[in-house]
Amino acid sequence: MGVLGQWITGIVLSLPLVGVYAIFAIGIVLMYRASKVLNLAHGVMATFPAYILYALSGWGIPLLIALPLAIAAGGGLGYLVQKLFVAPFRSMGETAQTVGTVVVLGLGIAIMATLWGAAPLLAVGVFPEVTFTVGQSGVRLGEIGLFATMLVIFFALQTLFSTTDFGLLMRGSAENPRAASLMGVNPELMTALSWILGGSLAGLAGIMLAGVTTLHPYSLPLQALPGFLAALLGGLGSISGAVVGGAIVGFVLGLVPLVPGLVQLQGAPQLMLAIIGMVVMARRGQTLVATDVRGGIV
Amino acid sequence: MSDTTVNANRFQVAALALLVVFPLIPKVNAGLPSANQAATYAIVAASLVLLTGWVGQISLGHAALVGIGGYATGWAATVLGLPFPLNLPVAAVAAGGMAALLGQVALRVRGLYLAVATLIFSWAASEMLFRQQWILKYGSIPEFSIGREGTLLRFDFSNSRTAYFYIAWGIAIACLYGLTNLRDSKTGRAFFAIRGSEFAAASLGMDVLRYKTLAFTLSGALAGIAGCLIMTEARVISPDSFDFNKSLFYLAIAVVGGLASLPGAVAASVFFAFLGELFYRVSFLGDYLQLVSTALLAMVFRLYPGGLAALARVGLARVEARAAAKQAGMVVPRGPRGASPVDRLKGMFKGGTPAPIAGAPAPQPVAAPRPAPASSREGFLNLAGILEQAPAELDAPPVSDETMELTEVIEVIPRGAGAHDEVEAVEGEDIAFTKALSGKLQLPPGVVPPPPVDPDRRNERRLLIAAEHITVKFGGLVAVNDASLEVREGEIVGLIGPNGAGKTTLFNSIAGFNTPTTGRVTLYGHDVTNLPVNQRAAMGMARTFQRIQLFPQLTTFDNLLAATHLQNPTGFVQHMAVTRAAFVAEASARARVKQVIHLLDLDDVAYRKVGVLPFGVLRMVEVARALVTGSRVIMLDEPASGLDERETDRLTDVLRFVRDLGATLLLIEHDVRMVTSVSDYMYVLNQGAMIAEGGPAAIQSNEDVIAAYLGRSAESETAGV
């Protein structure tokens, strides 16, 4: 088992991270495109469905029924957040809308901590408990499943947006709601659908992530943070950008600890990501300075 | 002066009195730790009001900045041996410096990138920074005391909660006082302007990045001060107190307070500290503190986005209405006590006699303010000199001292009252504001209009703007191709061309909103090709926008006041402390605005929110705003677009009037009738290239121009105006 083998193992072990952060980033991008708001409540949309699945399974409801219900809870949460905390504040600007999602984040964490307690719980696994051996460590089927699910979602959404009329309507109404409404599209509905879709995806990723880690009201919502970074790295504009961003974040978190000398340094991957994020933002800032004024004013 | 201020001041006095006696009340004072906590909450919440409420940026990592303040205090105490009051600046500088660093990166971009950057920062801080041994070891400070044992002056921090209470609240009040002053100053207006429109702010000479970074740095420094206070009281801190959830908690306080209101932030801080104390004492409630406080936050945000501040305002208004009904006709006299410097200024310029400044000589009549240094520079008119001659009487405002209050992001929106009411208001007002469109424009005595322009002898005039061989490419598209134009002193220069000719692109190159691919732009003889908008503005260039960029929540007066930015040489430290220089500069700025309003006959609309004014009047306000900057060069982007014939005629008169005052104008325009009647010299752009220039008469008969506009020539694709 040489150094190379160790790195290959590292890459395989990073794939689940890539999967989960890419799914988060896709959802964040969908919502951002629709409402121009960064959904800071994404972590709650991921964690709440995981708790719902936990509760439903506790009542003896089979996974085949409980799983769709739990994912739907994520979508429903997305819908409610958009309806109650984002849309009403459109006239006040994006600051108020973003604060609205922060309010949901705080409230959601508090509700989950009250209902299910602040101690970590063992979540229900979506995939059977099978472990493969890669190098010297094991990788669980659930972890590989996360990555595979992300690929499926990515290709499904790409197909939806690039080949179907419905996808075109969604993109169009996100880009220019007024023009879309003149053509008979209901932009409100399209925005709501984007949030429902984003919320469901967050729920799906959250459920699978909880299945391979633990269910915790404080730490699981924070897992969305790398998702924001992934969305930002991808430019907040496209699904494929979100996946690329997810890959960067996932591999940095998974592989940086393998770099000799960094193993001892606690938080090295986070620091690395923070630096990457800042550099990307700084570069993007410079390119945006000289825009045509007409293009910039809404 | 209205009763609102009187009542608000009474509340302030009552709150202060309560603060002073609180530790002396038996039994209640057992809650001192919570009361001390409230002071630090208030400082952090106020720092978020500055950042989020005023500038519109969101920080999700404020707790981490508080933490940096705390650890910096520990470092200063153990390594440098600095005791409490001395390590306060260290904490402020450390947290402020971190914020400045983050801001430099994240605030370059328009939008809420700071939210993401601070989120990452918060994450990196709790996962990495606060887990490093070299930081953790500064997590405690040695016990220390001031004064000799056994004397009254003896002060032991760990045992003297009461003394700490006064110190913490004293510092909190000092911070709040500074912020209050900042809010109603040049700096505060720059913050509001940036939140309203970064383009407009830059064109008024405001350095957008600098002000956004300043706001975040100040905000971070305040968080650092709070961190120092926390460390000083607790003597031991742990990284868990500075995690992401704590950042959310701080933001929650600011939101419940009203997000743009400092008194609201203080009230919410006290409220949350009280809630904490209550839930701590009543044991069965203990587990529900987080739930109750976040549910409260959600409710306030949903139902009453203006927060406690808005509630208080509504309550006060109700009390006043009742009082007014009781003693109709009685006027509550306003004493000098409790009048803030800003209140005094407001009084001065809103018709009333200014409240006396304690210990200051009798207020000088402000009719003849000293011209600010900036106006003597070459790019600026001696506006003060011109305006000195103008009468400065302005009627008292119909609305009272609410002007600055209206700048808040989250306003009370009466539920159910929607756009319908607003439209009605606009239609109703339209008739009332005709004066703004028909009043007499009279040059102040002593102002001599420049001699008429002779198109053949314009080279004798001083060259103010030169665009030399400008080419602008967007990807493969050549929008402007080797175009040159000149604007000389005392001229009105019109740039016309059919749609898509590249007028706006060329205009933006001159104004600084894009950088030409090749070519050179000079302003007053200096190369400005690569200078940002605000630096050109600082040289003496103002502009108006095709899509009007006024701040709709502000009155005409306050919109124009924002344009005095470049004429005001004072800085934010002076604004916070209200130094004499800052006071005089503010007085001079207000006098100037008043005079310009009078000069352009905008008196009727001076104290109206511009959001309710008709479009034609808004154009005049934008021209007035350009005039207030004092810039010698004023650029107008399609000023007649959206105006009817009567309004266009008025605009023509106003532009000539502004030129006669000494300004030089460059406008791009669609309305050929208007532009030929107002211009002294014209340039015609077609398909990116300059096809003609000359006096209006020459242009009107130019074959190429007619062909470009009417499409007579076979190869021309553009048709019609």
Is B84 contained in some domain? yes
Contacting residues of A for B297, CB less than 8 Å apart: 103, 106-107
Q: Whole-angstrom Cα distance, residue A99 to residue A38?
A: 10
Is B403 contained in some domain? no
Contacting residues of A for B108, CB less than 8 Å apart: 281-282, 285-286, 288-289
Provide the pLDDT for residue B281.
82
Amino acid (1-letter code) at residue B208: V
Is B386 contained in some domain? no
Provide the pLDDT for residue B153.
57
Q: Are strands B664-668 and B633-637 parallel, antiparallel or unpaired?
A: parallel
Q: Which of A132-136, A203-207, B266-270, B586-590 has the lowest mean pLDDT?
A: A132-136
CB A78 within 8 A of CB A45: yes
Q: Whole-angstrom Cα distance, residue A244 to residue B75?
A: 41
Provide the pLDDT for residue A205.
94
3-state secondary structure of A121: strand
Under DSSP, the state recorded for B392 is -
Distance from CA of A130 to the nearest CA of B (A): 31
* Domain end residue (candidates: B311, B344, B369): B311
Report the candidate in B681, B639, B635, B678 with the shortest Cα–Cα distance to residue B660.
Answer: B678
Of A135 and B213, the one with more pLDDT: B213
Under DSSP, the state recorded for B489 is T
Q: Whole-angstrom Cα distance, residue B679 to residue B4?
A: 49
The CATH number assigned to the domain holding B489 equals 3.40.50.300
Report the candidate in B361, B260, B294, B355 with the shortest Cα–Cα distance to residue B45.
Answer: B260
Residue B635 CA to its chain's centroid (Å): 22
Give percent of chain A above pLDDT 70.
93
Q: Which two tokens mark A171? A: 């993109």
Is B287 contained in some domain? yes
Give every CB contact of residue B477 below 8 A, 6+ residues apart in sequence.
none
Provide the pLDDT for residue A273.
85
CB B405 within 8 A of CB B343: no
Of B261 and B12, the one with more pLDDT: B261
Provide the pLDDT for residue B635.
94
Decide if pLDDT at B308 tops 90. no
Region of B487 (left: φ > 0; alpha: ψ -120 to 50; beta: rest) is beta
Residue B651 CA to its chain's centroid (Å): 28
Residue of A nearest to B254 (CA): A99
The CA-CA-CA angle for residues B590, B591, B593, to 5°, reads 65
Interchain contact B129–A (C-beta under 8 A): yes
Is B283 contained in some domain? yes
Q: What is the largest CA-CA distance in chain A?
A: 64
Is B390 contained in some domain? no
pLDDT in tens, B360-398: 444 344 433 444 444 446 777 776 666 555 444 444 444
Average pLDDT over residues B403-423: 32
pLDDT in tens, A32-48: 988 888 899 999 999 99
pLDDT in tens, B518-562: 999 999 999 999 998 999 999 999 999 888 888 887 889 999 999
pLDDT-derived band at B206, boundaries 50, 70, 90: very high
Most A CBs within 10 Å: which of B112, B293, B413, as the mutation test of the A interface? B112
Neighbours of A184 (CB within 10 A): 7
Q: Whole-angstrom Cα distance, residue B244 to residue B257?
A: 20
Provide the pLDDT for residue B456.
82
Residue B175, domain extent: 3-145+155-311
Most A CBs within 10 Å: which of B131, B290, B293, as the mutation test of the A interface? B290
Phi and psi of B99, rounded to 5°?
Answer: -65, -40
Interchain contact B447–A (C-beta under 8 A): no
For A:209-228, CB contacts with B below 8 A are 218, 222, 225, 228
End-to-end CA distance of chain A: 58
Provide the pLDDT for residue A248.
93
Any idea of the CA torsion for A125, A126, A131, A137, to the nearest 10 degrees? Answer: -70
Of B459 and A136, the one with more pLDDT: B459
The β-bridge partners of A185 are none
| DSSP state string for A70-83 | HHHHHHHHHHHHII
Kindly report the length of chain B: 721
Average pLDDT over residues B486-514: 90
CB A102 within 8 A of CB B48: no
The CA-CA-CA angle for residues B298, B299, B304, to 5°, reads 110
pLDDT in tens, B175-197: 999 999 999 899 999 999 988 88
Sign of the CA dihedral B349, B353, B357, B360? Answer: positive
Report the candidate in A42, A132, A134 with the shortest Cα–Cα distance to residue A86.
Answer: A42
Q: Which two tokens mark B235? A: 């003597």
Average pLDDT over residues B513-517: 88
The CATH number assigned to the domain holding B262 equals 1.10.3470
With an 8 Å Cβ cutoff, are A99 and B120 in contact?
no
Q: Which two tokens mark B610? A: 């511009």
| DSSP state string for B382-426 | -HHHHHHTS----PPPSS-TTTGGGG-SS----TT--HHHHHHHH
Q: How many CB pairs under 8 A join A and B?
A: 169
* Domain end residue (candidates: B311, B336, B353): B311
Averaged pLDDT of chain B: 80
Is B233 contained in some domain? yes
The CA-CA-CA angle for residues B658, A292, A95, to 5°, reads 95
pLDDT-derived band at B106, boundaries 50, 70, 90: confident
Provide the pLDDT for residue B327.
67
Decide if pLDDT at A74 tops 80. yes
Average pLDDT over residues B445-451: 80
Of B97 and A169, the one with more pLDDT: B97
Provide the pLDDT for residue B343.
53
* Domain end residue (candidates: B311, B334, B349): B311
User: So where are chain A's domains?
Assistant: 14-224
Give every CB contact of residue B441 below 8 A, 6+ residues apart in sequence.
B599, B600, B601, B653, B654, B657
Q: Which of B52-56, B130-134, B153-157 has the lowest mean pLDDT?
A: B153-157
Provide the pLDDT for residue B425.
39
Q: Whole-angstrom Cα distance, residue A168 to residue A173?
A: 8
CB B191 within 8 A of CB B206: no
Give every CB contact of residue B466 below 8 A, 6+ residues apart in sequence.
B484, B485, B486, B487, B520, B521, B522
With an 8 Å Cβ cutoff, are B255 and A110 in contact?
no
Interchain contact A159–B (C-beta under 8 A): no
With an 8 Å Cβ cutoff, are B56 and A95 in contact?
yes
The ipTM of this complex is 0.84
Domain count, chain B: 2
Report the candidate in B490, B437, B485, B443 with the shortest Cα–Cα distance to residue B462.
Answer: B490
Burial class (CB in 10 A: 0-12, 13-18, 19+), B308: buried
Residue B143 CA to its chain's centroid (Å): 44
pLDDT-derived band at B329, boundaries 50, 70, 90: low
CB A114 within 8 A of CB B291: yes
Decide if pLDDT at B156 tops 80. no
Report the candidate in B534, B501, B506 with the shortest Cα–Cα distance to residue B519.
Answer: B506
Amino acid (1-letter code) at residue B586: E
The CA-CA-CA angle for residues B417, B419, B424, to 5°, reads 95
Of A164 and B202, the one with more pLDDT: B202
Listed in order, strand segments (DSSP E) in chain A are 131-134, 137-140
Under DSSP, the state recorded for B410 is S
